[in-house]
Chains A and B, each alone.
Chain A
Amino acid sequence: METKKQPLVQVQNLSKYFKLSKNDILKAVDDVSFEINDGETVGLVGESGCGKSTTGRCLVRLYEPTSGKVIYDGKDIFDAKSKKDKMELHKNIQMIFQNPYSSLNPRMTVKDIVGEGIRLHEKVGEKELDDRIEELLKAVGLNRDHMSRFSHEFSGGQRQRIGIARALSVDPKFIVCDEPISALDVSIQAQVLNMLKRLQRERGLTYLFIAHDLSVVKYISDKIVVMYLGMIMEQADAEELYKNPCHPYTKALLSAIPEADPDIVRNKERIKLKGEIPSPINPKECCRFVERCSYAKPICSEQIPELKTIDTNHKLACHLY
């Protein structure tokens, strides 16, 4: 029996609250725990307000958490105090942003955007820098001619690829992909997805893939975590989650996806969720999904369900089980 290698990233009881006013607390992320193994892709799914973006930003330390730890390669990233330690983290953990229109500085050329990280972390001469940038651009399907252009001259898909080249420029091991394809056209989404998979194979990368589209997430992830209003509802290996979804929310999410197949989509048994997505401000300390759940029992409005393991690698937070 192989001893299980320690996961590359361990999120332990991560919480991020925002104080909006004297009495209002927005619990964006509430006691979230999961693990990402080396070379793996974990998909983080949920709709608006579920806290997936906030979780992602905590992992790259754009936010300081209210409580909890994120262990990367054995060390809590929030313990890094010195400039050297912080720079070491920046070299290893990077992020790809959702909006290709606001994630590139409109006043910088592609060369500047992609070269910034390299210049910051290494001492390289001009010629070597140019070569490195060209190599990165080639890896994302662009070329040398694009180096002197500005971001507004590119399409959304091309801009996103520039963003990926930027994330790769410092040679990271772990990349948080924050809805990297949501803003792109369908055929471009496939390009970028394939590219991300190829880059992962070639460079041994580990991904946290944040998305609201379950079909995309299934395609790229090894494990999936489903969030709702700041808490984890269910998590499992990808195949298992789709074959055997247990949480009412997961089931509803899966049935809501419009399939690109008229026969299937018109005859699908739809689980219709009633109501709107409630607000994460001052949530009641009970199951977050209770208001929209058709199977709710009295206990669901009183107690937060624990995240329990119900099968290998399959965890569930629901009073029904």
Chain B
Amino acid sequence: MDKILEVNNLKFSFKTYGGIVQSVRGVSFDVNKGEIVGIVGESGCGKSVTAQCLVRLNPEPPGFFEEGSIKYKGKEITEMSEKELRTIRGVEIGFIFQDPMTSLNPTMKVGKQIEEIFIQRKLYNKSELKEKALEILKLVGISDGERRYNQYPHELSGGMKQRIMIAIALVGQPSVVIADEPTTSLDVTIEAQILDLLKDLQNKTKTSIILITHDLGVIAKMCDRVLVMYGGKIVESGNVDDIFYSTRHPYTSGLLGSIASLETKRGVELSPIEGTPPDLFSPPPGCPFAPRCQYAMEICYNKMPPEYEISKEHKTVCWLEHEYAPDIKLPCKIRKKSEVS
């Protein structure tokens, strides 16, 4: 498998008035060609900061790299100059933001904005610009492209704007696209459309996608591999079946148990995870999840657990995997259909 992105022990923090906030505390993962990797976690877990680190979008200062490396096709991102980064951002590594409202220039017509990107990235010559822009609009399922081409962003719905953002991100065939909560602000039926579109386009172009979200349903639908983040660290990683059907980390299991799905029987209590994610002003020395974990042991509060390999792809960072730990079977709400007979 071609490795497009290699992240090794990434540590990123912010200097603030109250002290240093350690947003990312030692994150390592790879992204291969053509796969969709999901990063799931809740507010404050560090997933957005991690994503933005990949193209150095975090303001530095007050942010700074404490340690670690990010290699894009062998080149070290943390050491690149602003000039080099500009050749990568948007061209080799695309980005789709959550809020399409603020990502498009409100004073420029939509068609012109798409053409601007072409010009910036030196694709196509002048005569082809409009034709290519209309092609893009068609590609993302916007009918009557001629009319939309001449409209301003505020005249389009949220779903349409997001489609255009996806189009802009995929133009020029970047190797990786980072989608930061791309459908969180959209209605459910529109979200379904957008996710279908994204999957469709990804199939055609074989672009790798890093999909960041807090919605496990989106992960289940779209991703090949999943990274679960909590308190600035990856606590579990594996392919999508591992994470949903054979979860080994109490946080992941807690997350799955707290979702109300259509299958949830009424009258059955949801099992939420009590408490609030840790304040990263002074992160605890041990596992960040310990105060909220019913299986927490003394060692969990004092020492950070190492990474344990459950299988080649499935890894978890939890003291429960140690030989001394009691044997716990984590509650599993859902079963793979083929297993239930």
- Residues of A participating in the B interface, judged by any CB pair closer than 8 Å: 47-48, 141, 155-158, 185-191, 193-194, 197, 212-216, 218-219, 238-239, 242, 252-254, 256-266, 270, 272-273, 276-277
Contacts and interface: CB of A to CB of B under 8 A. Distances in A.
A217 to B, nearest CB: 9
Interface range on chain B (Cβ under 8 Å from partner): 35 or more
A260 B270 contact: no
8 A-B pairs with the lowest CB-CB distances in the bound complex, closest first: A258-B217, A190-B272, A190-B258, A185-B42, A47-B187, A260-B216, A256-B192, A219-B260
A186 B188 contact: no
Contact of A185 (B43, B192, B221, B271): B43
A258 B189 contact: no
Contact of B261 (A155, A260, A262): A260
Contact of B337 (A186, A256, A263): A263
Contacts of A216: 260
A8 B215 CA distance: 36
A194 B187 contact: no
Nearest to A50: B187
A191 B254 CA distance: 12
Contact of A157 (B157, B193, B240, B276): B276
Interface string B302-341: 0000000000000000000000000000000010111000
Given A186-B255, A276-B159, A242 B270 contact: no
Contacts of A218: 260, 262, 264, 266
Contact of B191 (A185, A188, A256): A256
Contacts of B193: 272-273
B220 interface: yes
Contacts of B195: 258
A258 B191 contact: yes
Nearest to B241: A262
Contacts of B336: 263
Nearest to B251: A187
Q: Which residue among B44, B196, B217, B337 has the maximum number of chain A CB atoms within 10 Å of its CB?
A: B217
Nearest to B243: A262
B188 A277 contact: no
B320 to A, nearest CB: 19
A194 B188 contact: no
Given A186-B42, A187-B254, A260 B220 contact: yes
A218 to B, nearest CB: 7
A254 B263 CA distance: 12
B272 A187 contact: yes
B218 A258 contact: yes
Q: Which residue among B158, B216, B270 has the maximum number of chain A CB atoms within 10 Å of its CB?
A: B270
Nearest to A275: B143
A257 B216 CA distance: 11
18 contacts: A47-B190, A185-B43, A188-B42, A188-B272, A189-B258, A190-B272, A194-B272, A213-B188, A215-B260, A256-B192, A258-B218, A260-B219, A263-B338, A264-B220, A265-B217, A270-B192, A276-B160, A277-B190
Given A186-B258, A260-B216, A215 B264 contact: yes
B259 interface: yes
A239 B190 contact: no
Contacts of B264: 215, 218-219
Nearest to B240: A262
A257 B261 CA distance: 9
B334 A261 contact: yes
A256 B261 CA distance: 13
Contacts of B192: 256, 258, 270, 272
Given A266-B221, A272-B196, A260 B189 contact: no
Contacts of B259: 186, 190, 215, 260
Nearest to A193: B270
Contacts of B189: 47, 252-253, 256, 273, 277
B260 A48 contact: no
Given A253-B188, A270-B192, 19 more contacts: A47-B189, A158-B276, A186-B215, A190-B260, A190-B270, A190-B271, A197-B269, A218-B264, A219-B260, A219-B270, A254-B262, A257-B188, A258-B215, A260-B219, A262-B221, A262-B241, A263-B337, A272-B192, A277-B157
Contacts of B269: 194, 197
Contacts of B221: 258-259, 262, 265-266
Contacts of B187: 47-48, 212, 277
Q: Which residue among A48, A156, A186, A239 has the maximum number of chain B CB atoms within 10 Å of its CB?
A: A186
Contacts of B44: 155
Contacts of A265: 217, 220-221
A257 to B, nearest CB: 6
Contact of A260 (B43, B244, B254, B276): B244
B26 interface: no
A264 B336 CA distance: 9
B337 to A, nearest CB: 5
B277 interface: yes
A186 B271 CA distance: 11
Contact of A259 (B240, B262, B270): B262
Contacts of B260: 189-190, 193, 215-216, 218-219
Contacts of B215: 186, 258
Nearest to B334: A261
Contacts of A252: 189
Nearest to A260: B216
A278 to B, nearest CB: 9
A235 B116 CA distance: 48
Contacts of A264: 220, 263, 337
Given A214-B262, A260-B217, A263-B337, A155 B157 contact: no
A274 to B, nearest CB: 9
